[in-house]
Each structure stands twice: as C-alpha cells, then as structure tokens.
Amino acid sequence: MRIVVVGSSNIDMVAQVSHIPAPGETVGNARFIQSFGGKGANQAVAAARLGGSVTFVTALGNDMYADILKKHFTEEGINTNYIIDDSHHPTGTALIYVANSGENCIAVAPGANYSLLPESITQFSEIIEEADIVVMQAEIPYETIKKTALLAKQKGKKVLFNPAPACLIDEELMTTIDILVVNELEASFISGIEYTENNLDDIAQALLRSGARNIVITLGSQGVYMMNERETIQLPSFKVKAIDTVAAGDTFCGALAVTCSQKGISREALSFANAAAAIAVTRLGAQSSIPTLVEVNAFIQ
C-alpha cells in the first residue's frame, strides 16, 4: 500500500480564552497549546498509522518548525525525502482562538504551503511512479493539485481528492479523480445543488456526471454515503461518545486511502474508514486523535 500524500503542513497555535477578543481587546489568562496540523499532514499521519507506506510531499518554511515537523513525520514512519525547504516563507501556521463556549476564530497563514508548485511535482515524478494511490486536499495551489493528478493519471495511478476547504473543480481535474471525498457542504458547493438530506443521490449523480468515478460523502454522526456507476452504499456511523470532531474527515481520508489503494472502493473499505474516524472523534486534538491499525482492528471486532 504505497501512498503518496501531496499537501499542506501547519503548526496550529491555539489559545484557549474566556471569550474571543473583540477588535482592539486583549484577553489575558489564555491557555496556549501548540500542535501539528494541516490537512495534508493529518492525512499522511493517518495513512501511516493505519498501515500505509507513506511518502509525504509538502513544503516547510525557513524556521525551526521545519526540523521539528520533519522529525515528527520520520517518527510516524513517513518518508520525508520529498519535502521541499522553502527559504523565503515561514511554515504554514494556523492561529486559533477557542473560547470556553466552544466558539472559535481562526486565521490561517499558508506560508510555505503555497510554495508547493507544479514544477516541484514534475521533479518528483518518480515518487508518483512508485505509488498505488495519490492523495490530495485543497490547502496547496490548485495548479499543483491539477498537475499532480494529471501526472498520476498518466502513470495509471489512483487519485483520491478531498477538496477541503471547498473549491470548484474544473472538468479536466474532475476526470482524473477516482475517489472524491467530500462532506455534505463541500458536495453541495461543488455540485451547485443545495443539500436537503433527501437529495444525496442527486448531488452524487451530478458529481459523477462531472467525471469523478467514486463519490464519497461523509455525513458526520450520520456516517458515510458512496455512489459509483455500479452501486450506492450508505453506512451509519459507529456509535461512540464524540468529544472532538477535529480531523475526523482527515482520519477518514487517510484510512480510505490505505484500504482503497490496491482493491478500490468497497463496503469493507468504507466501514474501515468509518471506524477509524469514529475512534478519532472520541479523542481530543487533530493528529493526537488518529488511531493505529491495531486500535481500528480491535474496535471493529
């Protein structure tokens, strides 16, 4: 299961505050937490913990976080040989306020993530050659996503695309996608059809008509839905006590990449990803919540 993830890395700087500061206000007594994030990094870590042989293509900045993140990825068993060092920008950073009420407020500085350019992917084409599946999200330049997907398709590789944050997808990119993973809001945005709970079939059919081959719509606590030209599968979520849904979608994508990398989409593959994501929502944090293969197998039995 050789998985190449091409995507973002961020340092999340979180201040837990009594309330979100108003413009000009200073809120004291904040609790500071620093953690590793970015959808690309989260999905790479998920795929590695769940048994994939993962290479992560990402760009890190001209600061101490580059070394810290490389060490972290190496400890997760991820191949870091294709990480780009960007000497002109800082590592991607998310500045997050979380109020006691749960309300949050986030500013993302993409920094080096926007230096992951199509030229880098062309230089790294040998790594795509060796992959079973290439996994991407939308926190890097669109042109890089497109170049990577076209190259992967040319080499006969599977492409899993998770367009989060939601972005419009042109026809050429859409036709390269084997597995499109979206939540209901992204599905609605991309298809242009408002989600009403009863029209998943219409939304999925519209996305299939746009050229992607398997449409996977994650439904939070409602589980997951999948449509391709042969079948439609809907699975309820595993019943768990959810305490923090951060990185549920990323855990789902990483897990699905592992199970679909060789055999493609199946009920079992969707169920495995559903289980991995269910475990993730029972734990706090992003990467800290992602389970291992042993944990998911024990949970499923």
Residues at the site binding ligand ATP, with contacts judged by CB under 6 A: 164, 183, 218-221, 223-224, 237-238, 240, 242, 245-250, 252, 274, 277-278, 281
Range 148-163 burial, b when 16+ CB lie within 10 A, else e: bbbbbbeeebbbbbbb
Closest contact distance (angstroms) between CB of 158 and ligand ATP is 20
Closest contact distance (angstroms) between CB of 270 and ligand ATP is 9
Closer to ligand ATP by CB, 108 or 164: give it: 164
Closer to ligand ATP by CB, 127 or 180: give it: 180
Closer to ligand ATP by CB, 4 or 46: give it: 46
Closest contact distance (angstroms) between CB of 11 and ligand ATP is 18
Closer to ligand ATP by CB, 79 or 188: give it: 188
Task: Please say whether the dihedral angle defined by the alpha carbons of residues 138, 143, 144 and 148, taken in this order, is positive or negative.
Answer: positive
Closest contact distance (angstroms) between CB of 23 and ligand ATP is 27
Contact (Cβ atoms closer than 8 angstroms) between residue 123 and residue 148: no
Closer to ligand ATP by CB, 21 or 220: give it: 220
Q: Residue number with the shortest CB distance to ligand ATP?
A: 249
The verdict on whether 250 is a catalytic residue reads yes
Closest contact distance (angstroms) between CB of 225 and ligand ATP is 9
Q: Are strands 92-99 and 10-17 parallel, antiparallel or unpaired?
A: parallel
Closest contact distance (angstroms) between CB of 232 and ligand ATP is 16
HEC states along the chain? CEEEEECCCEEEEEEEECCCCCCCCCCCCCEEEEEEECHHHHHHHHHHHCCCEEEEECEECCCHHHHHHHHHHHHCCCECCCCEECCCCCCEEEEEEEECCCCEEEEEECHHHHHCCHHHHHHCHHHHHCCCEEEEECCCCHHHHHHHHHHHHHCCCEEEEECCCCCCCCHHHHCCCCEEEEEHHHHHHHHCCCCCCCCHHHHHHHHHHCCCCEEEEECHHHCEEEEECCCEEEECCCCCCCCCCCCHHHHHHHHHHHHHHHHCCCHHHHHHHHHHHHHHHCCCCCHHHCCCHHHHHHHHC
Closer to ligand ATP by CB, 77 or 236: give it: 236
Write out the catalytic residue numbers.
250
